[in-house]
Structure 1
Amino acid sequence: MNINETSFDFEPGPDFAERFRAERRPACQLYLISPPAFDLATHSEALRAALGAGSVAAYQLRMKGVADADVLAAAAVLQPICAAAEVAFIVNDRADLAAACGADGVHLGQGDGSVADARALLGREAQIGVTCHASRDLAFEAGEAGADYVAFGAFYPTTTKPSEHRPEPAILSWWTTISQLPCVAIGGITPANAAPLVAAGADFLAVSAGVWNGDPAANVRAFAAVMAG
């Protein structure tokens, strides 16, 4: 990916990672992750409210321990909401389910298959992200494999997806210095603790409870204020 062009007008959308072809990285934006469990009708309204508040580039559907049919049923409801707001719709872990529902991409954990296999299944336009925990080596490997973005975390304690990995914000600064690929910060991020990650160079803040707990629109606006500096 090439960030080095003199001007760049970033708009969130399904090709959000590809739009980082500019000399100056765009302002940090939100990458929403669905709650661990949710009522579909209630969450769809929360998602509409969150996306309507702006500053959201992507939404990841993350449903663990449920039948494939349930994931596809949720995607059928939530994906059109994202499409209407020009927000990328990403499926967690499963490239096959991403293909089945026509998602904009997939986010792969370290045990979820290769970038090459996901690319072969989803096509060259798909957005493929890779969890890299606190590892610079894993980030290099993901970039070399053709990932569209890398994700570091968890930066703070979280109950959404507990992790023993606890990188320092400096890993974001390091990555943005040596790579053109966007980086996502994840893990326990709230408006109260997001500023150091933004300052360190996070291109996206991956957030779940920090938006869905409480008023989603108000929480998105609170994040936007932090990301704007």
Structure 2
Amino acid sequence: MTDLLDFASRFESGSRGPAQLYLISPLEVGGDFPDKLRAALDAGPVAAFQFRVKGVDQHEAARLAEPLQRICEAREVAFIVNDDMALAKRLGAEGVHLGQGDGDPREARALLGPSAQIGVTCHDSRHLAMEAGEAGADYVAFGAFFPTGTKETFHRPESSILGWWSALFELPCVAIGGITAQNGRALIEAGADFLAVCSAVWGHSEGPGAAVAEFQTILQR
């Protein structure tokens, strides 16, 4: 099983190390999307891929997920399921990402086991982030930092929340929402451990491989 983060090597030097890329799938992952995923993952280091589909039953979701999961496994990229603990269990995924209405991290831990990577959306809330950490989450996600068409958003945190979190807690934080290779550097400098990206990769004019290559130029702190 691929770990989303090697905690020992990341923090033993007193530095959080370089930021990493965390890809989120578009809602449509059939057709030629597996080829796009291969191109993205082969273009540079990617820590994790989050499988995010809506409006399909679990059997169809599992059918869509399986080839993508194989692609991730071959490249040692953590395969994270959005929202659905039961689907993550069924697939044997590396973990699950929970929104505020998707269940408790403790429940996910009991279902998925001690090695599962559990992330929690915390919007712009320091309180929710601390609660997630206390409940056993492996990472917290803040956002949306920029306008995004990927999903409807109601929270717009200041980048200072990343610095506050990284100064006080070793638990990694993910920045999400409208992030591009042009605006992402400021979030890394503020303290983001991961940049979660969707449209900027899958909608890139030169393809997802070119997009991931662009991001590699900004990930070093």
Runs of 4+ in 1 over 2 A off after TM superposition: 17-23
- Which is further off, 89-98 or 17-26? 17-26
Using the size of structure 2 for normalisation, the TM-score is 0.94
Q: Unpaired runs of 5+ in structure 2?
A: none
CA distance in 1, matches of 2:49, 2:56: 19
- 1:25 lines up with 2:16 in the alignment: yes
CA distance in 2, matches of 1:167, 1:95: 27
Fraction of identical pairs, as percent: 56
CA distance in 2, matches of 1:120, 1:18: 22
CA distance in 2, matches of 1:54, 1:173: 26
CA distance in 2, matches of 1:14, 1:177: 26
CA distance in 2, matches of 1:104, 1:41: 24
Task: Give the match for residue 48 of structure 2.
Answer: 58
String of CA shifts for 1:23-58, please: whole Å, max 9, x gaps.
Answer: 3212011100000223x2411001000000112100
**SS of corresponding position for 2:32:** helix
Task: Give the match for residue 117 of structure 2.
Answer: 127
Task: Give the match for residue 158 of structure 1.
Answer: 148
- The correspondence of residues 1-229 of structure 1 with structure 2, limited to 5 A, is 14-19=2-7, 20-22=10-12, 23-38=14-29, 40-214=30-204, 215-228=207-220
Distance 1:41 1:26, change over 3 A: farther
**SS of corresponding position for 2:47:** strand
**SS of corresponding position for 2:146:** coil
**SS of corresponding position for 1:44:** helix
Deviation at 1:21, TM superposition (A): 4.6
Deviation at 1:99, TM superposition (A): 0.3
Q: Unpaired runs of 5+ in structure 1?
A: 1-12
CA distance in 2, matches of 1:95, 1:50: 26
Write the letter of the residue equivalent to 1:220.
V
Distance 1:74 1:21, change over 3 A: farther
**SS of corresponding position for 1:60:** strand
String of CA shifts for 1:80-119, please: whole Å, max 9, x gaps.
Answer: 1001110000000011100000000000000001011100
CA distance in 2, matches of 1:171, 1:117: 27
Deviation at 1:18, TM superposition (A): 4.4
**SS of corresponding position for 2:218:** helix
**SS of corresponding position for 2:18:** coil
CA distance in 1, matches of 2:201, 2:210: 8
CA distance in 2, matches of 1:92, 1:126: 13
Deviation at 1:66, TM superposition (A): 1.3
**SS of corresponding position for 1:206:** strand
CA distance in 2, matches of 1:181, 1:18: 11
CA contact (8 A) 2:11 2:17 kept: no
CA contact (8 A) 1:17 1:149 kept: no
